[in-house]
């Protein structure tokens, strides 16, 4: 009788230890994957900040040549100010509505910058200016970086979400409060091809 009780207690204790190890392993993997998402998000923020830092220089360079294009310049400045005023944090990654607002603000800045580049086409001296060409090259490089970092972020979010949703990980994730991460979505305008007219 005593030996049977010891065996039962040993089995129960072994099951508890095994369960704790599995729980801990899943939790640690969730933490690592969430940090990967946060790191990818930090890179997205970094390239967006780089773009925000370039915009005032670009506006000032264009302003000297295109002083009467105030509305276009003002749209760029306002779009930049809207983004700069947004509170951005890793917590927004679990809230699709806030991420969508952030993405919409970025789309507005991209659109304003595109209109600014169309204005620049009207000023041959500006197009030939070394300062402008350097800024334009930096801005184009930044836009490419944004695309790359958004892709990396979406990949990290997908990896986290897939791991979080698999069983038994979903149980641990729900108990410990890990939420799914939102993705960057394509802009609505991306569905229609731009028209080029000469």
The answer to whether residue 191 sits within a structural domain is: no
Range of the domain at 83: 2-182
- Which spans in the chain are helix H? 2-65, 70-84, 96-120, 124-128, 130-165, 169-176
Residue 16 forms part of a structural domain: yes
Q: What is the pLDDT of residue 1?
A: 62
Give the residue ranges of the chain where pLDDT is below 70: 1, 63-70, 87-90, 123-129, 186-198
pLDDT for the residue numbered 17: 92
Identify whether the C-beta of residue 169 lies closer than 8 Å to the C-beta of residue 29: yes
- The answer to whether residue 194 is domain-embedded is no
Q: In CATH, what number is assigned to the domain containing residue 47?
A: 1.20.1440.20
Residue 125 domain flag = yes
193 domain-assigned: no
| Structural domain contains residue 197 | no
Coil, helix or strand at residue 46: helix
Burial class (CB in 10 A: 0-12, 13-18, 19+), 171: exposed
Q: How many domains does the chain have?
A: 1
Q: 0.75 cut: is pTM over it?
A: no
């Amino acid at each position: 009788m005593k030996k049977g009780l010891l065996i039962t207690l040993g089995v129960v204790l072994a099951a508890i230890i095994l369960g704790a190890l599995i729980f801990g392993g899943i939790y640690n993997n969730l933490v690592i994957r969430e940090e990967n998402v946060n790191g990818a998000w930090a890179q997205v923020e970094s390239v967006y900040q780089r773009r925000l830092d370039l915009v005032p220089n670009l506006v000032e360079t264009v302003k000297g040549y295109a002083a009467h294009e105030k509305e276009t310049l003002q749209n760029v400045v306002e779009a930049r100010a809207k983004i700069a005023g947004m509170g951005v944090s890793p917590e927004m990654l679990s809230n699709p509505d806030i991420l969508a607002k952030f993405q919409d603000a970025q789309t507005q800045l991209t659109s304003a910058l595109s209109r600014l580049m169309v204005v620049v086409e009207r000023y041959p001296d500006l197009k030939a200016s070394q300062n402008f060409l350097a800024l334009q090259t930096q801005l184009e490089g930044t836009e490419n970086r944004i695309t790359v970092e958004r892709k990396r972020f979406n990949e990290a979010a997908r990896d986290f979400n897939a791991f979080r949703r698999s069983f038994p990980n979903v149980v641990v994730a729900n108990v410990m409060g890990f939420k799914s991460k939102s993705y960057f979505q394509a802009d609505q305008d991306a569905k229609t091809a731009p028209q080029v007219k000469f």
